[in-house]
Amino acid sequence: MPFRTRITRWDLSLEESVLSLAVLREKVAIMTSGGDAAGMNPAVKSTADYALKLGMEPYLVKWGLRGLIEGWIEPATDAFLSDLIHRGGTALGSSRSKRFFEYEFRKQAYENLERLGIGKLVIIGGDGSFNALNQFYEDFKVPFAGIPATIDNDISGTDYCLGVDTALNMIRSSVDSIRDTASSFSRAFVIETMGRDCGYLAMTSALATDAEVCLVPEIEYDLDCIGKRLRAQRDAGKQYLLGIVAEGTGMGETLTRWMSDALGMDARLTVLGHVQRGGSPTVYDRIMAFKFAGAALDNLQAGEKNKVVVFKDGAFGMASINEITDTKHESDPALIKLCRGLSC
């Protein structure tokens, strides 16, 4: 009987130890926020997988900032993570929550994290999302790491954001299809890309698809000069024309009418819109997601707080929110130089 009593005490002690270890195990919550971008899902999966390798317990926040407020937070499961790597958009969902900018709702979000014992966050999104969590850190000192994900590629301090390569491939595929019709009917087509005030998608796509015209906010354009060049190309036997326009110029319809009037061609406008955000992530976006995730968690574990992972000149680093938001984004000068000849 005494022997049995000792065994019972040992069992209870072991159970208590296991519970204690579970309580002490670091927990990190992963979320997506802002506009969706291909690469978000691979980033969620790779962040959760790497967190487990580091001995952390990963949680997932559904529906972005709104999910933090509402407490839509649950443990990451293999069943959910196993179906992410090939999917575009964000399976976690996203939202833009005005309520998060009110202290009482940020406090509610903090209490939800505290209740679950979550002490760190990884957010995959844009600068607006990073600003929101920066304020959250100022209020409650919850460390976070940001992973840049936006097809616009317009976050200062980083040469690349998740989703850009997939968006470029979606544009390339669409333009190649439009070229078939343009050449069949000897037409001029204007294709409008997304990107807000950043012309990265338009410039890169114009070069990749051999477009004759490219109008972006970063480069001054001269329609008279463009017209002279295009007429010479038409006289030399050019049967069709392609123009790529960034949405930030507001020139889609104007350039289409101009091509029709000034060049005497049947001209059509195609606004690609949100098709650029979708699609299965490319290999490059999937691999970059793994690298961004690793850098985010490594730096969180090293004691970095409220920083964003950046990819600059082929290397990963961390930048403060102020470094990102206080610096005006500038497109690659080399890319601009290559595209100047398409704007005059």
List the catalytic residues.
152
For 22, phi and psi rounded to 5 degrees? -65, -40
**CB-count exposure of residue 172 (10 Å: 0-12, 13-18, 19+):** middle
Give me the helices (H) in 127-245, please: 127-140, 164-185, 200-209, 223-235
Please give the radius of gyration of the chain, using alpha carbons only, rounded to the nearest integer: 25
> Helices 223-235 and 252-263 meet at what angle, rounded to 10?
50
Max distance between CA atoms of the chain, in angstroms, equals 105
How far apart are the C-alpha atoms of 113 and 74, rounded to whole Å? 11
Sequential DSSP letters for 132-161: HHHHHHHHH---EEEEEB-TT---TT-S--
Phi/psi region, residue 117 (left: phi>0; alpha: psi -120 to 50; beta: rest), is: left
